[in-house]
């Protein structure tokens, strides 16, 4: 399509939002913004971005940061491995690239946690390199305008990438990429695209045929894995017990209460008895009769059923030597928890902020 790049950049110039990361070409800051925006919407992303950049203004500060501090700042964003990957990548940049965060695609793609999308975004915006960015917004816009569909998923994604690359303005790739993403976010929206006022409505394949809702093709949704987390919130006067989550699972590195995971829904009594047996806790030192507080949390590939069982500890000696950490309740805000645990803590007035 002739003048596509020119038209979309013109549209962008008139309509773009004023966002903090658009005021810089610093590759470190662009990286931070891109990773955060993969997790959340713009409004929430702005406050996470500003806290992150205030705490870790450059790659050296980030590389020196404690894992717990990063997770605490990341708390609520989800995909905590991405935050840990950022720490790993920061250390690599400091140790192997003299602390200079790269803006070259080939260097970026070698860093942990940086894939084609993020490398293309940073390389085009900060390095002016001709790499097209493809995210959900870009996919939707190109699929609708050019009628790209009805292909196997991998072929479809390749076709979208090839189209974006063909259209890319090689002289100002960063502006072009941002323009296309912004157009998808503001004009060619997912459920209510603003077709009547759209600059492409005379040429848009899907709109002309009245088939906007059919583009892009819907991804087949895999059934989610159901998981059952029984948390035992053991109160010991002004203290409570927590533990650190192991790596290679959701919420890696975050804190939680002592946990029993079951592969099916079980009764409260069976959960408590299993927990006591597995952890060799003397049943006489623990009491609790309330029904657990329950939440359900839907993640991208799994659904977590959470049960918070409140227990009172009668004799703390019995719990010595376990991997659990005994902390003061007033210090709970110093630890990073999954947002579902935070919700529970707030509901129980154990956390106020």
3-state SS, residue 227: strand
**Residues present in the chain in total:** 353
Candidates 206, 254, 313, 332; binder of ligand SF4 (CB under 6 A) is: 206
The CA-CA-CA angle for residues 257, 71, 323, to 5°, reads 35
Q: Report the C-alpha gap between 318 and 234 in whole angstroms.
A: 12
Q: Among residues 46 and 198, whose Cβ is nearest to ligand SF4?
A: 198
144 touches ligand SF4 by CB under 6 A: yes
Cβ-count burial of 265 within 10 angstroms (0-12 exposed, 13-18 middle, 19+ buried)? Answer: exposed
Span of 20-28, 86-94, 140-148, 245-253 interacting with ligand SF4 by CB under 6 A: 140-148
x-marked contacts with ligand SF4 along 169-188 as a string, rule CB under 6 A: ------------------xx
201 touches ligand SF4 by CB under 6 A: yes
167 touches ligand SF4 by CB under 6 A: no
Q: Tell me, by CB under 6 A, how many residues bind ligand SF4.
A: 15
Candidates 198, 250, 254, 311; binder of ligand SF4 (CB under 6 A) is: 198
Nearest CA among 318, 246, 323 for reference residue 276: 318
C-alpha distances out from residue 285 to 273, 315, 324, Å: 13, 5, 16
Least separation in angstroms between residue 203's CB and ligand SF4 is 8
The full 3-state SS of 275-319, as one line of letters, equals HHHHCCCCHHHEECCCCCEEEEEECCCEEEEEEEEEEEECCHHHH
Q: Report the C-alpha gap between 222 and 34 in whole angstroms.
A: 26
Is there a contact between 170 and 132 (Cβ–Cβ < 8 Å)?
Answer: no
Nearest CA among 90, 120, 92 for reference residue 106: 120
Candidates 49, 207, 307, 308; binder of ligand SF4 (CB under 6 A) is: 207
Is there a contact between 168 and 130 (Cβ–Cβ < 8 Å)?
Answer: yes
Q: Report the C-alpha gap between 12 and 162 in whole angstroms.
A: 22
108-127 residues in contact with ligand SF4 (CB under 6 A) are none
Span of 64-72, 206-214, 263-271, 294-302 interacting with ligand SF4 by CB under 6 A: 206-214
Q: Report the C-alpha gap between 11 and 6 in whole angstroms.
A: 9
Span of 62-70, 90-98, 196-204, 312-320 interacting with ligand SF4 by CB under 6 A: 196-204
145 touches ligand SF4 by CB under 6 A: yes
Q: Among residues 180 and 281, whose Cβ is nearest to ligand SF4?
A: 180
C-alpha distances out from residue 230 to 16, 233, 264, 270, 351, Å: 46, 10, 11, 11, 20
164 touches ligand SF4 by CB under 6 A: no
Helix (H) or strand (E) holding 260: strand 259-262
Strands in 62-219 per DSSP E: none
Q: Among residues 206 and 342, whose Cβ is nearest to ligand SF4?
A: 206
State yes or no: is 96 an active-site residue: no
Candidates 194, 259, 270, 314; binder of ligand SF4 (CB under 6 A) is: 194
Q: Among residues 24 and 149, whose Cβ is nearest to ligand SF4?
A: 149
Q: Among residues 193 and 338, whose Cβ is nearest to ligand SF4?
A: 193
338 touches ligand SF4 by CB under 6 A: no
195 touches ligand SF4 by CB under 6 A: yes
Candidates 8, 77, 83, 204; binder of ligand SF4 (CB under 6 A) is: 204
Q: Among residues 68 and 214, whose Cβ is nearest to ligand SF4?
A: 214
139 touches ligand SF4 by CB under 6 A: no
The residues annotated as belonging to the active site are 34
Name the residues that contact ligand SF4, by CB under 6 A. 141, 144-145, 187-188, 193-195, 198, 200-201, 204, 206-207, 212
């Amino acid at each position: 399509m002739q003048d596509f790049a020119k038209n979309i950049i013109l549209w962008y110039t008139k309509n773009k939002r004023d966002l903090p990361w658009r005021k810089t070409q610093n590759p470190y800051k662009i990286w931070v913004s891109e990773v955060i925006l993969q997790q959340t919407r713009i409004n929430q992303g702005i406050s996470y971005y500003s806290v992150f950049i205030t705490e870790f203004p450059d790659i050296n500060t980030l590389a020196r940061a404690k894992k717990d501090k990063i997770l605490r700042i990341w708390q609520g964003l989800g995909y905590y491995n991405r935050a840990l990957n950022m720490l790993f990548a920061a250390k690599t940049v400091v140790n192997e690239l003299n602390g200079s965060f790269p803006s070259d695609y080939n260097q970026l793609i070698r860093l942990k946690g940086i894939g084609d999308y993020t490398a293309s975004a940073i390389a085009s915006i900060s390095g002016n390199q001709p790499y097209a960015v493809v995210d959900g917004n870009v996919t939707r816009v190109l699929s609708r305008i050019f009628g790209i569909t009805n292909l196997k998923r991998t072929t479809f994604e390749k076709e979208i990438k090839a189209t974006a690359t063909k259209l890319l303005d090689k002289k100002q790739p960063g502006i072009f990429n941002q323009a296309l993403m912004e157009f998808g976010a503001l004009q060619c929206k997912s459920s209510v695209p603003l077709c009547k006022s759209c600059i492409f409505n005379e040429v848009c394949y899907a709109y002309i045929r009245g088939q906007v809702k059919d583009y892009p093709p819907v991804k087949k949704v895999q059934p989610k894995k159901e998981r059952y987390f029984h948390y035992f919130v053991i109160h010991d006067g002004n203290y409570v017990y927590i533990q650190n989550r192991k790596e290679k699972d959701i919420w890696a590195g975050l804190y939680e209460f002592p946990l029993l995971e079951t592969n099916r829904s079980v009764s409260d009594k069976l959960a408590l008895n299993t927990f006591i047996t597995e952890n060799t806790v003397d049943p006489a030192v623990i009491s609790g009769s309330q029904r657990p507080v329950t939440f359900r949390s839907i993640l991208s590939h799994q659904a977590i059923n959470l049960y918070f069982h409140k227990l009172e500890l009668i004799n703390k000696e019995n719990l010595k030597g376990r991997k659990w950490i005994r902390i003061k309740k007033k210090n709970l805000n110093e630890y990073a928890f999954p947002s579902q645990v935070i919700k529970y803590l707030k509901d129980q007035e154990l956390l106020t902020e």
